[in-house]
Structure 1
Amino acid sequence: MNMMRTAMLLATMTALFMGVGYLIGGTGGMTIAFLMAAGMNLFSYWNADKMVLRMNNAVEVDERNAPEYYAIVRGLAANAGLPMPKVFLIDNDQPNAFATGRNPENAAVAATTGLLQRLSHEEVAAVMAHELAHVQNRDTLIMTITATIAGAISMLGNFAFFFGGNRENNSNPLGIVGVLVAMIVAPFAAMLVQMAISRTREYSADRRGAEICGNPLWLASALDKIARNVERIHNPEAERNPAMAPLFIINPLSGERMDNLFSTHPNTENRIAALQAMAQEGVGRPAAQKAPQPAARSGEGPWGRKPSGPKGPWS
């Protein structure tokens, strides 16, 4: 099912590329766009995860320089029966996290320093469990490729104005009208594809993440804290690359609070309500169970130094 969904996504994105190429340069432009899309699809399959991590300035960490953070992920991966993913840290005050990778054997999880500083130990564990749920559900490939190609389509739409606006260019069948359509419709269509595939995945990952960490209320509390902080803390990397927004556990961009066609994530209050209902159903291990703990507290922050912001579970 996931392979079919991935194939349909790539076909849709390829068609968008070809449509923009046709509007800009006619049949020749469509052929060039097809070749570009085919190359980008292949490149994205193998390298999109690295690109997303690089765009967010993520740095890989391990048990030596991030002992507690690393231990949480390791314990949760064991709970889920997953291979140990690579663990990354993003120096950003906005609390947030995402997962990426083409399969569980080549997965990576990333959290911001703001997440580790502002959330409790149990809340951090719940967030990383949610991200591992995306890995286990094999959402990461399609989400990462979608973010990469949607961003490229948006860029191509912007380039259309500069390279397709010549009225004397007979290769453009619709002239300036076609260019304007390419500038507006293509990025909008790419955005709709992202939104259509991302929102239902969040509910599924919330449920499985609650099962992995053992307590739905930990994730409910984490979502509430993240959402409130995202409203007031800017994420410049995400703002520069808005196509990445669906990758994060909470939309890192300003706005998009309504649970409708144009939101990249389900409404946070609805997600919290679903998790609270899970807790009432007794989903997960007993609440007294602890989140995965490191063998010994180091007294340092998860990136090798004492955090300077608000105290969190690492203080």
Structure 2
Amino acid sequence: MNITESELFRSEDLGVLKTFHLKRFWDKTMKKRAGIIPQDAFIEEWTTDTKLLNILGVGLEQTIIYLYNEAPDFSAFEKWILQLNNGILPEERINAFNATFSTENASESSTKIDQILSDADIQFWEQNGYVILRNAVSKEDCDAVITALTELLSIDLNNPATWYNEHPDRQGIMIQLFQHPAIEKNRNSARIRAAYEQLWNRTDLWVSTDRVGFNPPENENWKFPGPYLHWDVSLELPIPFGLQGLLYLSDTQANQGAFSLVPGFQNRIEDWINSLPAGTDPRKENLYELGVAPIAANAGDFIIWHQALPHGSSRNTSHLPRMVQYINYSPIDAEVKTNWK
């Protein structure tokens, strides 16, 4: 069955939370769940969908799992969002998001952009496609997230036997912890935001609602499950400008399950893809042969990378776990290729 535009709620149809696009997002997801529309229907609204959830402080995967498992009516969905946010939503961010649906408010912010990254940082960025913002977050603020993470998983960092505890919020090395005051504080780090603004060369950016990660050392019973080198973007050329980032919550050595990437690949990805034999799936190639580098850094250091870089975590062969928080900023009109390749 084909659903036309007129058969869905409009973005302007509001519920109790008075947030544009929320009722439409719920409507689309419920119809996809029921098989009434295909999973890739209205893919052109993907950026708006993700920004919507970000400003409401709920994770994308977290939300999809809830909607597919519970199939709530719209009222229950709004109550779930409120509950996750302890009954308080960021009115200022909601108003700003709603304003993006008005052509009168569509102009880009002209606020002065701070040059937090040095000339050397920018030169390194242009060559390598990533940059490390040192001391982006205090150790105290990193430790607060570590405490939230370990309490959730019932982990004692002084007792390695607890590092492998089973928990429903544990998905490999990804931990489904999205809402916590310490996590939110780091998301709103002024230094991290400033670095993103400088690289995007604009200030009208929206922060993501993302999770945390815990990558313990390998042992006889637990082996690194990935993610191995991959892309989180369509490989349809040309690949648009886009960024991703993570915060090291603890000092991390190269062999400690460090975040890894292929430096400089943003400058050669088009030539590489075009050189592959016809019909080759780039994602199934041995990306490690491209020249992977693990990134060692300290607690509070923030890594930003170009989305064209193959990236992933790595095997932890040290004696300490790797702990991170994922944070990203992007504009609401960021280009997203709708044809996934």
| Alignment TM-score, normalising by the size of structure 1 | 0.27
Higher share of residues assigned strand: 2
| Alignment TM-score, normalising by the size of structure 2 | 0.25
Higher share of residues assigned helix: 1
